[in-house]
A and B are shown apart, each in its own frame.
Chain A
Amino acid sequence: MSTEPVLQIRDLEAWYGESHVLHGMEFDVRAGEVVALIGRNGAGKTTTLRAITGIVKKRAGSVKIDGTEAIKLRSDKIAKLGLGYVPEERGIFATLSVRENLLLPPAVKPNGMTEAQIYELFPRLQERARSQGTKLSGGEQQMLAIARVLRTGARLLLLDEPSEGLAPVIVQHIGRIICSLRDQGFTIVLVEQNFRFAATCADRFVVVEHGKVVDQVASADMDAKSGELAAYLGV
C-alpha cells in the first residue's frame, strides 16, 4: 500500500457568504482507511465535506486527492478525480425511478460496480427498482444514495451522516455495508453525530471544533480516551 495519502487536507478555510466556517482544517486519509469526523453541531464537519467536493465555492488552502490539487477545480472535475459524495439530504432525483437514479451517474473511474453487484449489496433496491425516487423510505433513500456513487467507480467516498433519522435496524444495516466497503478497499470519510455508529467501522476519529481539527484518536486508543471524546461531543 502506498504511503501517499489518498486525501490530504492542509490549511483548509471555507466561507458561507461572509461567515467564516473553516479555520485551517488539516488531516490526512490513507488508502483503505475509514476516518470519522466527529464534533458538535455547527463545528464544520459537513462544511469540510462540502469544501472538499467544491460545493462550497468560497474556499482556500489545499485539498489533494491522490496527489492532485483540487482546491481550484469545479465540483464535476473533483468528482472525476475519483471522489464520491453522499450528502446528508441524500439528493435523490425526485422525478426519476430508483433504477434511473442508479444508472444516471457518469463513470468517473473504471471498474465501477455493476447493477448486479449493487443489487447484491442492496437487495432492497432491486425490489424497488421501478419506484419513483421520492416514494422510498429514508433508509432506502440512503441505500440508493450510497449505491449511486458506487456505480461511478469512485474509490474515495465521503458520507455525510448516513445514520441520521433512520430506524436502529436500518442503521445497523448501513453500518455493515460501510464495513464491507472498507473490506473491499474503499477509502471512506464519514461525518457522524452517532458516535456509537461511527465506532463500528472507523479506524480513526478526527475531532472537529470551531472549524479546526482539535484531536485525532485511533480506534485502538478509544477506551483510554473515551472521556475526552465525550467532552468534545458534549455528551
Chain B
Amino acid sequence: MTSKRSELLLVIAGLVLLLVLPHILYPVFVMKALIAGLFACAFNLMLGYGGLLSFGHAAFFGTAAYAMAHSTKLWGWPFEAGLLLGVAAAAAVGVVMGVLAIRRQGIYFAMITLALSQMLYFLYLQTPFTHGEDGIQSVPRGKALGFIDLSNGLNMYYTLLVVVLAGFWLIWRTVHSPFGQVLKAIRDNEPRATSLGYNVDRYKLLAFILSAALAGLAGALNATVFQLASLNDVTWQHSGEVILMTLLGGVGTILGPVIGGALVVTLQNYLAASGLPVDVVIGLFFIACVLLFRRGLVGEVIAWNERRKGS
C-alpha cells in the first residue's frame, strides 16, 4: 500500500513541478524537454516493451512535423486538425515500415528501419513541399480549441503539457493493458507466446504503429512550438538521439525515457552556451552512464529500491 501511496505522491509532485516550471525556467526549453520525453517514451514502447530497436523513429517525428507545418501554414488548418493529421501521417508511415520490418529481429530490424527512414529523408530532401534545406518556416501556432492563443508562450506551454500528458497516459495505459502484457510476454519469450496461440507479428506491428503515431505526436508539437519543420527532424542522427535518451533514462521503464529526454535536452542547451564541443561531451556522458548505470538512471533507482525492499 505504501508503495502505491508514494507512487501517487510522486505523480502529484511531478505534476505540480510541471505546472510551475515555466515560471522558473525558460518555457520553450521545458517544452523542448517535454517533446523529447514524449518522443523517447514512444520509442521505448517498441524497444522496452516490444524488444525491438528501431533506428528510424525520426521518420515518424519528421513526417508528422511536415504534415502539421504544411496543413496549418498552407491550408490554414486549426492546431487540433494539424495535430491529428500529423499523428495519422506518422501512423501511416509506421504501417508501411512495420509491415516490411516486423518479421525481422535485432540488428536486421534496426537496419531495415534505418534504411527506410533514410529513403524517406531523401524523399523529403527532393519533394518541393518540404522546401528542402530551408524547411517549412514560420509555421503559425494558431489557436487551440479556437480561443487559446498559442502565440502566447504560457498558453502554448500549458496546451502542450495537456497533449504530452495525454500521450504519456496512453503509453501508461497500453503498457498496463492486456495488450501490454502480451507485448512483455513476447519480449520475454517469443517462441512461448507463439506456441500459446498468439500471432506475435500482429502484436508487434500494432505496437510499432502506436509507437510511430506517438512519435508523430511529438513531431507535430515540435513543429508548432518552434514554428519550423526541417530536414533535421528526419535525420538518422535524430533517430540515434532518441535511442540515447531512452538508454540514459532506462529502457522498459515508464519514467526513464522522459528523464533521459530531459537530460539530453538540458545538456545540449547548457553546453551550447559553454563553448564546449556538445556532441563529444554528451558522448562521454553516455559512455560513463553505460559503464556505471547499465539499467539507465531510472532503471538503477528502481533496482536499488527493489534491493532495499528485498533486504
Binding site for B on A (CB under 8 A): 53-55, 74-76, 78-80, 85, 87, 91, 93-96, 100, 103-106, 108, 148-149, 152
Contacts and interface: CB of A to CB of B under 8 A. Distances in A.
Given A93-B189, A95-B188, A79 B195 contact: yes
Given A76-B200, A104-B182, 14 more contacts: A54-B195, A75-B194, A76-B199, A79-B195, A80-B197, A85-B195, A91-B191, A91-B192, A93-B188, A93-B193, A95-B184, A104-B181, A104-B185, A106-B197
Contacts of A149: 196
A234 to B, nearest CB: 30
A75 B182 contact: no
Contacts of B193: 93
Interface string B211-252: 000000000000000000000000000000000000000000
Interface string B66-110: 000000000000000000000000000000000000000000000
Interface string B160-198: 000000000000000000100110110111011111111
Closest 7 CB pairs of A and B: A79-B197, A91-B192, A75-B194, A93-B188, A93-B185, A105-B196, A108-B197
Contact of B192 (A74, A87, A95): A87
Contacts of B182: 104
Contacts of A100: 181
B188 A79 contact: no
Contacts, number: 62
Contacts of A78: 195
Given A95-B188, A96-B181, A104 B195 contact: no
B193 to A, nearest CB: 8
A149 B196 CA distance: 7
A216 to B, nearest CB: 26
Contacts of B192: 87, 91, 93
Contacts of B200: 76
A85 B184 CA distance: 20
A105 B197 contact: yes
A168 B189 CA distance: 28
A75 B195 contact: yes
B121 to A, nearest CB: 35
Contact of A79 (B187, B189, B196): B196
B197 A96 contact: no
B262 to A, nearest CB: 25
A163 to B, nearest CB: 20
A78 B195 CA distance: 8
Interface in B230-283: none
A106 B182 CA distance: 10
B189 A91 contact: yes
B198 A106 contact: yes
A76 B189 contact: no
A152 B197 CA distance: 9
Contacts of B187: 95
A93 B197 contact: no
30 contacts: A54-B195, A55-B194, A74-B194, A76-B194, A76-B195, A76-B199, A78-B195, A79-B194, A79-B195, A79-B196, A79-B197, A91-B191, A91-B192, A93-B185, A93-B188, A93-B193, A94-B188, A94-B189, A95-B187, A95-B188, A96-B181, A96-B184, A100-B181, A103-B181, A104-B181, A104-B185, A106-B197, A108-B197, A149-B196, A152-B196
Most chain A CB within a 10 A radius of its CB, from B185, B196, B200: B196
Contacts of A148: 196
A79 B196 CA distance: 6
B196 A104 contact: yes
A87 B192 CA distance: 8
Nearest to B192: A91
Contacts of B185: 93, 96, 104
Contact of B191 (A55, A94, A103): A55
A54 B192 CA distance: 11
Nearest to A158: B195
B49 to A, nearest CB: 10
Interface in B132-185: 178, 181-182, 184-185
A75 B191 contact: yes
B57 to A, nearest CB: 23
Contacts of A85: 195
